[in-house]
């Protein structure tokens, strides 16, 4: 058999005048590419969900413990007023510090409040008063501390706010 007799029955790209293939794209290829892209997106989303789940796994526990910390602080505040022994008060203060350190180790940090510009995303104002010494709404008192877990707000700080005094334009 001669080399010239072994011809390929497939169309040759060189035989096309413009170099374009004559075959239409297979719809199965497009479906496969779409499915592969969907699967990659699914894997990326699942990976992010798992990362978030690990990062915020202590959120429910932290929310449950914040009122306990509030009550411990109140106990320290009122123990001295009630005439409790100094060693008892200092013991309570130590427990509060250890509690705060434990929360910080799992990523719980307090929300900045006093002296900060009022931010409704992290502060909950329950009172406001006008003041001459502020140029914008500013937190002047923190009644209940707010906390974050990493970048997620666990509880807003409950605050009082000073507002700039309204100037009356008497003409």
SS (H, E, C) 88-100: HHHHHHHHHHHHH
Q: Is the pLDDT of residue 20 over 80?
A: no
Rounded to the nearest integer, the mean pLDDT of the chain is 85
Residue 71, both tokens = 């009550």
5 vs 77: which has the higher pLDDT: 77
pLDDT (mean) for 18-31 = 71
pLDDT (mean) for 13-34 = 69
Provide the pLDDT for residue 162.
Answer: 96
pLDDT (mean) for 82-108 = 91
Provide the pLDDT for residue 142.
Answer: 96
The pLDDT confidence band at residue 2, using thresholds 50, 70 and 90, is low
Q: Is the pLDDT of residue 148 over 60?
A: yes
Pairwise CA distance, residues 61 & 120, whole Å: 25
The pLDDT confidence band at residue 21, using thresholds 50, 70 and 90, is low
**How crowded is residue 99: how many other Cβ atoms within 10 Å of its Cβ?**
16
Q: Is the pLDDT of residue 93 over 80?
A: yes
Listed range (110-114, 129-133, 138-142, 165-169) with the worst mean pLDDT = 165-169
Portion of the chain with pLDDT greater than 70, in percent:
84
Pairwise CA distance, residues 11 & 99, whole Å: 78
pLDDT (mean) for 94-110 = 95
**How crowded is residue 110: how many other Cβ atoms within 10 Å of its Cβ?**
14
Q: Is the pLDDT of residue 45 over 50?
A: yes
21 vs 131: which has the higher pLDDT: 131
């Amino acid at each position: 058999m001669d080399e010239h007799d072994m011809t390929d029955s497939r169309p040759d790209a060189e035989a096309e005048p413009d170099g374009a293939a004559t075959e239409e794209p297979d719809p199965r290829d497009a479906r496969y590419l779409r499915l592969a892209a969907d699967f990659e997106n699914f894997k990326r989303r699942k990976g992010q969900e798992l990362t978030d789940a690990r990062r915020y796994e202590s959120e429910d526990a932290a929310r449950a413990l914040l009122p306990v910390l509030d009550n411990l602080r109140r106990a320290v505040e009122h123990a001295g007023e009630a005439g409790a022994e100094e060693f008892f008060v200092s013991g309570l203060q130590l427990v509060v510090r250890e509690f705060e350190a434990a929360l910080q180790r799992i990523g719980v940090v307090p929300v900045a409040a006093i002296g900060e510009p009022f931010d409704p995303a992290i502060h909950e104002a329950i009172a406001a008063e006008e003041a001459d010494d502020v140029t914008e709404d500013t937190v002047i008192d923190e009644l209940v501390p707010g906390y974050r877990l990493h970048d997620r707000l666990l509880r807003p700080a409950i605050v009082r706010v000073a507002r700039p005094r309204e100037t009356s334009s008497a003409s």
